[in-house]
Structure 1
Amino acid sequence: MDSRRSNWRNFWLLWLTGIVIIVALVSQNDRLVTDIAPQGMLDHQVAATAQRVEDIHASWRAAGAMDFFRIAILFDLLFIVLYSTGGVMGGRLIRQAARSGLLRALAGLAILAYAAFGILDFTETFCQAIQGFVTGGNDTLAAIAATAQQPKMAAFFIGFPSLVVALAWFGLERRRSA
Structure 2
Amino acid sequence: MKHSKLRTAFLTLWGLGLVLFGVTIILGLPLAVSAVPGGILDHQAAGTAAEVDRIQHEWRLAALWNRAALAMMSDLVFIGIYGIGSVLGGLYFFRSGRGAVRLIGGAVLLAGGIFLATDYIETISQFSQLMRFEGDDAKAALAATVRPVKVAAWIATFAGILAALAIRRFQRRAS
Interval of TM-score (by shorter of Structure 1 and Structure 2): over 0.9
Instruction: Using the TM superposition, give the Cα deviation of residue 64 of structure 1 relative to its aligned residue in structure 2, in angstroms.
Output: 1.1
CA-based RMSD: 1.6
Distance 1:80 1:47 in 2: 20
Distance 2:128 2:172 in 1: 46
Instruction: Using the TM superposition, give the Cα deviation of residue 159 of structure 1 relative to its aligned residue in structure 2, in angstroms.
Output: 2.0
Instruction: Using the TM superposition, give the Cα deviation of residue 6 of structure 1 relative to its aligned residue in structure 2, in angstroms.
Output: 2.5
Per-residue CA distance 1:80-109 (angstroms, 9 max, x = gap): 1111110110111111111x3222111111
Match among 111, 130, 137 for residue 132 of structure 1: 130
Instruction: Using the TM superposition, give the Cα deviation of residue 3 of structure 1 relative to its aligned residue in structure 2, in angstroms.
Output: 3.8
Instruction: Using the TM superposition, give the Cα deviation of residue 135 of structure 1 relative to its aligned residue in structure 2, in angstroms.
Output: 5.8
Instruction: Give the AA of the match of 1:63.
Output: A
Matched, 1:59 2:58: yes
Q: Is the 8 A contact 2:94 2:101 kept in 1?
A: yes
Matched, 1:77 2:67: no
Instruction: Using the TM superposition, give the Cα deviation of residue 175 of structure 1 relative to its aligned residue in structure 2, in angstroms.
Output: 4.6
Q: Counterparts in 2 of 1:83-98, with a 5 A limit? A: 83-98=82-97
Residue 6 of structure 1 corresponds to which residue in structure 2? Answer: 5
Per-residue CA distance 1:25-80 (angstroms, 9 max, x = gap): 22343200123211100000000111111111111011111101101111101111
Residue 105 of structure 2 corresponds to which residue in structure 1? Answer: 107
Instruction: Using the TM superposition, give the Cα deviation of residue 14 of structure 1 relative to its aligned residue in structure 2, in angstroms.
Output: 0.9
How many pairs are equivalent? 175
Matched, 1:16 2:2: no
Per-residue CA distance 1:132-159 (angstroms, 9 max, x = gap): 1136211110000010111111112222
Distance 2:152 2:36 in 1: 23
Q: Is the 8 A contact 1:22 1:79 kept in 2?
A: yes
- 5+ unaligned residues in a row in structure 1: which ranges? none
Q: Is the 8 A contact 1:94 1:170 kept in 2?
A: no
Query: Kindly, what percent of the aligned residue pairs are identical?
Result: 33
Distance 1:53 1:127 in 2: 11
Q: Is the 8 A contact 1:36 1:55 kept in 2?
A: no
TM (norm. structure 2) is 0.93
